Amino acid sequence: MPKQVDHRERRESIARALWTIVDQQGWARTTMREVAREAGASLGQLQHYFSSRSQMLTFAIKFAADQTSQRVTQGMAALDQPPHPRDVLRVVLIELLPFRPDARATSRMNAAYVLEAMHDPTLHEQVALGLRDGRAMVERLIRQAISDGQISPHRDPAIETDLILALTGFAPLLELGVIEPQAALAAIDQHLDQLFPPGGAR
Amino acid sequence: MPKQVDHRERRESIARALWTIVDQQGWARTTMREVAREAGASLGQLQHYFSSRSQMLTFAIKFAADQTSQRVTQGMAALDQPPHPRDVLRVVLIELLPFRPDARATSRMNAAYVLEAMHDPTLHEQVALGLRDGRAMVERLIRQAISDGQISPHRDPAIETDLILALTGFAPLLELGVIEPQAALAAIDQHLDQLFPPGGAR
């Protein structure tokens, strides 16, 4: 048992080292040697865990997804119970977008991963599956909100889901300082207010 | 004069070679040596034009921006004259998103550029300037449409501009097949229909 814990901790410390390097210089310039150095390991030790850059990225991104979902769970716990679907979507968007340092690190990892996935069939399948799962979760929430009269029954749930997903397009605009965080939040709030009219939709 | 033309053509053929390589294997794995080979040039010749990967990327992205703006101009010429601002925004979004092969190539270049810019101060400044110009153009169009009664005067032009920009978030979702092109188009149309109510806003 202690050995397994060590093993997991080791992998996590490597994932964090990878994030640090990617955050500093981008995935394109990240080598396994540098990640090993940052993690205080030898290249051989790193290769014991990951035989390729691609495998290392996959692990780091799964770890990033776990971190994001922990932040979402924490954000949801702070909401009124049961939470309003509008507030749930707002928490998810805030944790996916680079508003805070920890969300920024995971958002950059995601951007690198998505770009890499466009040219790597294995990563492509993994990232597409993850995004489809996320999309399906948002669509279920929207369909439920239509049933519950919180969203107008005239809205198309698939289109509304896609428009929510499009809001992740703020990530590069926030990263590059083209849009200020409070402006992005105001836009997200306005979009959600239109979708969930105050006082219900019926 | 012919020498200048040759020079420009040479740079363009290098830009196209770079796109091909980036399209095939991603920016992270692109080396100047491979781009030289694809362009039918020696590494030395390539280095005569660009002393670094970063400079090569900057040139290729400017060329990509020119290509995009040519496609937008062509798309606008096909509209009723003077064009309705809703149709102008639709043409711009369609040419920015990877709906067609040529737009796909420029969209991938842009994604690589934006990611690279997060870690490179010079690129950061360039890409942020370009995006701010684009944002300002969209905001002027929206403010004009409010003045002209095509958009409700109750809408906040800055927020509406940011929500239009967010629609570029469909790019990775289209690239990875998470959203089908017709679904993304339907979402764009619905967003534009809400912003520009048929028959005018007043």
Q: What is the pLDDT of residues A153-164, one digit of tens each?
A: 999 999 999 999
Mean pLDDT of chain A: 89
The CB density around residue A74, as the number of other CB atoms within 10 Å, is 11
In this prediction, residue A101 has a pLDDT band, given cuts at 50, 70 and 90, of confident
| Same structural domain, B92 and B6 | no
Q: A167 in a domain, yes or no?
A: yes
| Same structural domain, A44 and A137 | no
| Same structural domain, A21 and A82 | no
Q: What is the pLDDT of residue B2?
A: 52
| Same structural domain, B122 and B26 | no
CB of B197 less than 8 A from some CB of A: no
Q: How far is B65 from chain A (nearest CA, A)?
A: 17
In this prediction, residue B148 has a pLDDT band, given cuts at 50, 70 and 90, of very high
Token pair, residue A95, equals 């944790």
CB of A176 less than 8 A from some CB of B: yes
pLDDT at B127 over 90: no
Residues of chain B found within 8 Å of residue A156, distances taken between Cβ atoms: 186, 190
Vertex A58: Cα angle to B26 and A159 (nearest 5): 75
CATH code where residue A182 lies: 1.10.357.10
Q: B84 in a domain, yes or no?
A: yes
| Same structural domain, B41 and B77 | no
In this prediction, residue B1 has a pLDDT band, given cuts at 50, 70 and 90, of very low
CB of B86 less than 8 A from some CB of A: no
Q: A174 in a domain, yes or no?
A: yes
CB of B173 less than 8 A from some CB of A: yes
Helix (H/G/I), strand (E/B), else coil: A198: coil
CB of B2 less than 8 A from some CB of A: no
Q: What is the pLDDT of residue A10?
A: 84
Q: How far is B6 from chain A (nearest CA, A)?
A: 32
Q: What is the pLDDT of residue B185?
A: 98
Identify whether the C-beta of residue A60 lies closer than 8 Å to the C-beta of residue A109: yes
Q: What is the CA radius of gyration of chain A?
A: 19
B109 closest CA partner among B150, B162, B68, B73: B68
Q: What is the pLDDT of residue B87?
A: 96
Q: What is the pLDDT of residue A33?
A: 92
Burial class (CB in 10 A: 0-12, 13-18, 19+), B102: middle
CA separation for the pair B171, A173 (Å, rounded) = 14
Q: B139 in a domain, yes or no?
A: yes
Comparing A112 with B90, the larger pLDDT belongs to B90
Q: B200 in a domain, yes or no?
A: no
pLDDT at A27 over 80: no
Q: What is the pLDDT of residue B158?
A: 98
Q: What percent of chain A has pLDDT over 70?
A: 97
Q: What confidence tens digit (pLDDT) does each residue in A124-149 have?
A: 888 888 899 999 999 999 999 999 99
Q: How far is CA A7 from the centre of its chain?
A: 25
Identify whether the C-beta of residue B48 lies closer than 8 Å to the C-beta of residue B112: no
Range in A88-92, B116-120, B134-138 with the lowest mean pLDDT: B116-120
Last residue of a domain, one of A51, A69, A93: A51
Q: What percent of chain B has pLDDT over 90?
A: 51
Q: What is the pLDDT of residue A96?
A: 92
Mean pLDDT of A14-39: 85
In this prediction, residue B5 has a pLDDT band, given cuts at 50, 70 and 90, of low
Last residue of a domain, one of B51, B66, B89: B51
Tell me phi and psi for residue A79, to 5 degrees. -85, 165
pLDDT at B194 over 90: yes
Mean pLDDT of B88-98: 95
Helix (H/G/I), strand (E/B), else coil: B154: coil
Comparing B28 with B34, the larger pLDDT belongs to B34
CA separation for the pair A178, A192 (Å, rounded) = 22
Range in A122-126, B95-99, B134-138 with the lowest mean pLDDT: A122-126
ipTM of the complex: 0.88
A167 closest CA partner among B189, B163, B157, B107: B163
Last residue of a domain, one of B51, B72, B87: B51
Q: Name the residue in chain B with its Cα closest to that of A105.
A: B118
Who's near A134: CB < 8 A, 6+ residues apart? Answer: A165
CA separation for the pair A168, B12 (Å, rounded) = 33
Burial class (CB in 10 A: 0-12, 13-18, 19+), A13: middle
Q: What is the pLDDT of residue A4?
A: 61
Burial class (CB in 10 A: 0-12, 13-18, 19+), B87: middle
Mean pLDDT of A62-68: 85
Q: Residues 116 to 155 of A: which have CB under 8 A from any B CB?
A: 116-120, 124, 127-128, 131-132, 135
Q: Name the residue in chain A with its Cα closest to that of B182.
A: A159
Q: B190 in a domain, yes or no?
A: yes
| Same structural domain, B136 and B177 | yes
The segment with the largest mean pLDDT, out of A64-73, A172-181, B7-16, B112-121, is: A172-181
| Same structural domain, B38 and B79 | no
Cross-chain Cβ contact A184/B162 below 8 Å:
yes
Identify whether the C-beta of residue B49 lies closer than 8 Å to the C-beta of residue B15: no
Please state, in angstroms and as integers, the Cα–Cα distance from residue B189 to each residue in B94, B164, B184, following that order: 11, 11, 9
Q: What is the pLDDT of residue A1?
A: 46
CA separation for the pair B138, B157 (Å, rounded) = 9
| Position A29, amino acid | R
| Same structural domain, B74 and B107 | yes
| Same structural domain, A147 and A115 | yes
Comparing A87 with B199, the larger pLDDT belongs to A87
Range in A86-95, A176-185, B116-125, B128-137 with the lowest mean pLDDT: B116-125
CB of A158 less than 8 A from some CB of B: yes
Tell me phi and psi for residue A111, to 5 degrees. -60, -45
CATH code where residue A36 lies: 1.10.10.60
Containing structural domain, residue B122: 52-195
Cross-chain Cβ contact A165/B179 below 8 Å:
yes
Token pair, residue A22, equals 């990617």
Mean pLDDT of B154-165: 97
| Same structural domain, B44 and B56 | no
Total domains, chain A: 2
Q: B201 in a domain, yes or no?
A: no
Q: A202 in a domain, yes or no?
A: no
CA separation for the pair A45, A177 (Å, rounded) = 38
CA separation for the pair A40, A194 (Å, rounded) = 50
CB of A79 less than 8 A from some CB of B: no
Mean pLDDT of chain B: 89
| Same structural domain, A19 and A47 | yes
| Same structural domain, B41 and B98 | no
Cross-chain Cβ contact A115/B28 below 8 Å:
yes
